C-alpha cells in the first residue's frame, strides 16, 4: 500500500490532477495537458515543467493548434526536456534542495507539528494539512531572511550602496527587483537555489541601486564580480523550472 508520502512525492516534477495527453510531432511524442477556459483565443504555454493548452470557447479540440504551432512546441519542449534531465540529477526521491543541499521529507511526528530541521536537513510535515504547509513556508522564509541580511550587509559595504528596505515575496515572474525608491524585493523561491546563485541574484539587485538599467557599466561590474555571467543565467533558467514545478509549486 502506498503511504501518503509516496503518493505526494512520487511525481516530483509534474504533479497535478489534470490528465496527461500526448501527440506525435515529427516523430517526437509530446506530452501536454488541456484546460478549457472562457477566453477568446486558445493559448499555449510551458508552465511547471510541462506544456499546457488553454482552449478557448470556440475551439473544438487542441489538435489543430498543436499542428499550427508545431515548430514552436518542438523547440521549447526539447529545451525544457534538456533542463528537466539536469534537474532530476540534483537529489533523490522524497527530497528537495534548500540552500544548496538536499532536504528529506518525512512524515510528521504526531503532537509536534510541522518543522524544518536545518541541521539534519529534514522537513517534517503532513501534505494534507494547509497549516503544515504554511508553517513550513514561514520557517523557510524566516531562515531566508537571515541569509539575505548577511548578504545585503556584505554587498552594501562592497558597493557602498544601501537599500531603504527589502521584502521577501512569492514572485511569479522574476527572482528579484529593485524599485526607484531603493526598495528591494526577493523571490522566496531563491532559498531553493545554491548559495552562489543566491549571491548572484542579490548582488544583481543591489547593483541596481547604483545603475538602474542593464547598461554597459552594469554588465562590466557583473562580469568583474562573477566572470561567466551567461553560465549563471543558464543555471538560473534551470532552477526557475525547478522552483516552479512539482512539490515546490504546491508548497510556496
Q: Which residues contact 129 (CB under 8 A, 6 or more apart)?
A: 114
DSSP SS3 for 135: helix
pLDDT, one tens digit per residue, over 81-122 is 887 787 778 888 889 999 999 999 998 777 778 999 999 999
Instruction: State how far the Cα of 218 lies from the Cα of 203, in Å rounded to an integer.
Output: 11
pLDDT, one tens digit per residue, over 218-242 is 999 999 999 999 999 989 988 988 8
Q: Where are the domains of the chain?
A: 8-87, 92-131, 137-251
Q: Which residues contact 217 (CB under 8 A, 6 or more apart)?
A: 211
Instruction: State how far the Cα of 218 lies from the Cα of 198, in Å rounded to an integer.
Output: 18
Structural domain 137-251, CATH architecture: 2-Layer Sandwich (3.30)
Which of 64-68, 105-109, 175-179 has the least mean pLDDT? 105-109
What's the pLDDT at 230? 92
- The secondary structure of 161-216 as a DSSP string is ---SEEEEE--SS-SEEE-TTSEEEEEGGGGGS-HHHHHHHHHHHHHTTT-SS--H
- Is the overall model pTM greater than 0.85, yes or no? no
Instruction: State how far the Cα of 199 lies from the Cα of 182, in Å rounded to an integer.
Output: 19
CA distances from 52 to 10, 55, 153, 242 (A): 21, 9, 42, 17
Instruction: State how far the Cα of 226 lies from the Cα of 81, in Å rounded to an integer.
Output: 28
What's the pLDDT at 11? 38
Closest CA to 191 of 138, 233, 127: 138
Question: What confidence tier does 14 reach under pLDDT thresholds 50, 70, 90?
Answer: very low
What's the distance, CA 223 to chain centroid? 24
Amino acid at each position: 500500500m502506498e503511504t501518503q508520502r509516496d503518493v505526494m512525492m512520487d511525481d516530483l516534477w509534474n504533479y497535478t490532477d489534470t490528465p496527461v495527453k500526448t501527440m506525435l510531432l515529427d516523430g517526437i511524442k509530446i506530452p501536454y495537458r488541456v484546460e478549457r477556459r472562457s477566453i477568446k483565443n486558445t493559448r499555449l504555454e510551458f508552465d511547471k515543467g510541462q506544456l499546457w493548452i488553454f482552449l478557448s470557447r470556440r475551439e473544438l479540440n487542441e489538435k489543430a493548434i498543436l499542428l499550427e504551432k508545431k515548430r514552436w512546441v518542438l523547440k521549447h519542449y526539447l529545451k525544457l526536456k534538456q533542463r528537466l534531465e539536469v534537474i532530476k540529477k540534483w537529489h533523490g526521491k522524497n527530497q528537495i534542495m534548500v540552500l544548496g543541499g538536499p532536504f528529506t521529507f518525512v512524515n510528521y511526528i504526531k503532537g509536534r507539528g510541522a518543522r524544518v530541521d536545518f541541521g539534519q536537513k529534514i522537513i517534517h510535515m503532513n501534505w494534507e494539512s494547509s497549516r503544515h504547509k504554511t508553517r513550513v513556508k514561514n520557517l523557510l522564509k524566516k531562515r531566508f531572511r537571515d541569509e539575505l541580511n548577511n548578504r545585503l550587509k556584505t554587498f552594501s559595504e562592497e558597493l557602498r550602496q544601501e537599500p531603504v528596505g527589502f521584502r521577501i515575496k512569492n514572485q511569479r515572474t522574476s527572482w528579484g527587483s529593485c524599485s526607484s525608491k531603493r526598495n528591494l524585493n526577493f523571490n522566496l523561491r531563491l532559498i531553493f537555489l545554491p548559495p552562489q546563485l543566491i549571491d548572484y541574484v542579490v548582488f544583481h539587485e543591489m547593483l541596481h541601486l547604483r545603475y538602474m538599467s542593464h547598461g554597459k557599466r552594469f554588465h562590466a561590474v557583473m562580469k568583474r564580480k562573477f566572470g561567466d555571467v551567461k553560465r549563471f543565467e543558464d543555471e538560473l533558467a534551470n532552477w526557475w523550472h525547478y522552483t516552479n514545478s512539482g512539490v515546490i509549486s504546491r508548497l510556496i
